[in-house]
Each structure stands twice: as structure tokens, then as C-alpha cells.
Copies of this chain bind each other. A is one copy, B any other.
Amino acid sequence: MSAEQAAPSRIERKRGRRIQEILTAAAELFGERGYAAVSLEDVAERLDVTKGSLYYYFASKDALGTAAIETLGNEWTSRLENLPAAQEGPPAARLRALLREHITIAVREYPAALGLFLVPREWPREQHERIKELRRRHDGLFRRVVEEGVASGEFRVTDVGTALQCMHASMSQAPVWCEGLAGAAVDRAIERLADTLMMLVGQAP
């Protein structure tokens, strides 16, 4: 037991890195094509290893899927949690910062995520719970700011939950909308989306 808590050995660190590589590749692919449409062969090929090797790190495709979703979700949430501009200041500024960062991550780094967060339908049943949990954490970040804004009278909403859901649904689609864009056009699209979503809490453009 004490060993488990001890600092990871060099070998364990290496294993950890390998796992991260696999997870990244898997998350990308699952995101690009959807869970069902990605084979372990695909994942293995992107990593330039054989299918069999993946089983050394993950017990099954489902396990890999779960881990991939979890990793992605955790990293994403962490980045939002640690975003300086979202820590203090008026709710409007903080919400806008969160929206921009979230959309930017979605569009620039994880065009994948759409499939991971938006469409649980196609994931194995066991993962549904985990995905929901991730969403809750994620949601909490935005919810706190929105509720604070509502409390202080800065924001006006029909319903906090509904507004949050609309924000998430819209942001998740962003990568699809930006698919054909490049360079500064992407930046402008991100701004437009953030501005538009601010309207959901009554912040006119």
C-alpha cells in the first residue's frame, strides 16, 4: 500500500507517458469519427504499434474509450478552472472568458470533443455515467458564474439550467461550423459565438 502511494518509478513514469500517448491518439480518433467507427487497428496504426500492444495498457476497447474521455474531460476542465481571467472580476467578463476559452479549446485542440460530450448515445452504456459526471464538473464552472451574475442583477435569464445547456450545445458544435475556416476567420467566428452566447444571459452585443 505504501508503495502505491510512493513516487512513481522511472518505469512507471514511462508507462504513464505511453498511456497518455495512446489516450491522445484515441481521443482524437474517437472524436473525428465516432466511437463505433474507430477500430483498435486505427488507433494502433496512428501510434505505429500493433493492435496487441494496446491490450497491454487497456483491458478492452471500452476501457480505452472510458479513459480517453476521462483524460480529455479532466484536462479540459482543469484548463478552464485555472483560467486567470475567470477567477475574479465582474461576472460578465468572467463568463465571457470562460466561453472564449472553451470554444477555443474545442475548435483548436479538440475538434474531437463533439463526439465525446455531445453524443453519449453511441458510447457503451457504462460510459454514460462517467460522461455525465464530467459534464457536471464542467457545467459547475459555468453555472457558478451565471448564478452569481443573476444574483447580482447583471444577468437576466429565463432559466439558468436551460441557458447553460444552450451554451454547451452551441459550443460543442463550434468545431463543425469552423471546419472550413482558416486563420483570422476562425478567431472572428469564435468571437461572434461568444458574443452571441452572452445574449443568453441578457448581455446585448
Contact = CB atoms under 8 A, between A and B. Distances in A.
A172 B170 contact: no
Contact of A197 (B36, B166, B173, B195): B166
Interface residues of chain A: helix, strand, loop or mixed (majority): helix
B202 A158 contact: no
A16 to B, nearest CB: 19
A141 interface: no
A52 B204 CA distance: 57
Stoichiometry, copies per complex: 4
Contact of A115 (B121, B165, B196, B202): B121
Interface residues of A, number: 38
Which of A118, A156, A166, A170 has the most chain B CB atoms inside 10 A of its CB?
A166
Contacts of A186: none
A177 B167 CA distance: 13
